Copies of this chain bind each other. A is one copy, B any other.
Amino acid sequence: MNRITLEQANAVIAGAFAKAREMALKPLGVAVLDAGGHLIAWQRQDGASTGRLQLAVGKASGALFLGISSRKIGDMAGERPTFLASLAPIAPGGVVPAAGGVIVVDANGHAIGAVGISGDLSDKDEACTLAGIAAAGLTAQA
């Protein structure tokens, strides 16, 4: 298996929303991207603000851009703010330095896509991202 299918992407979103209901979170947007950073599937829950797509994609796309989760990018941002700032004009989908964007890997550890969520606090967004990836039978980058 070397790419995320639409069926799997939909399963990721369903799993993330199930986790969000369980945690009683605010309305979320969930983005599933392929390894090239192109959107396979996106759903935005009623009441979510207009920027959720850009934020969720900016987490997932930024993770693919740098090869690490958006949580780690957030840590990096505190230490190297000018490096993060330098990415603005060159990273097409943005690089949002906050937890919630996670790379999906195959059995060899190669990236086959990424999932990004935005809507509540970053830590809670990320809990749903991980729950969605697991629900679809996929593997999050360690």
Contact = CB atoms under 8 A, between A and B. Distances in A.
A136 interface: no
A86 B97 contact: yes
Categorize the interface residue count of chain A. Answer: 35 or more
Contact of A36 (B10, B38, B42, B57): B38
6 contacts: A6-B43, A34-B36, A50-B64, A51-B65, A85-B88, A86-B94
A34 B65 CA distance: 14
Contacts of A3: 2, 46
Interface string A1-45: 011011001100000000000000000000000111111111111
Given A34-B36, A38-B53, A42-B42, A97 B83 contact: yes
A94 B90 contact: yes
A57 to B, nearest CB: 8
Contacts of A117: none
Interface string A81-125: 111111111111111111000000000001100000000000000
A77 interface: yes
A93 to B, nearest CB: 7
Contacts of A47: 110
B49 A39 contact: no
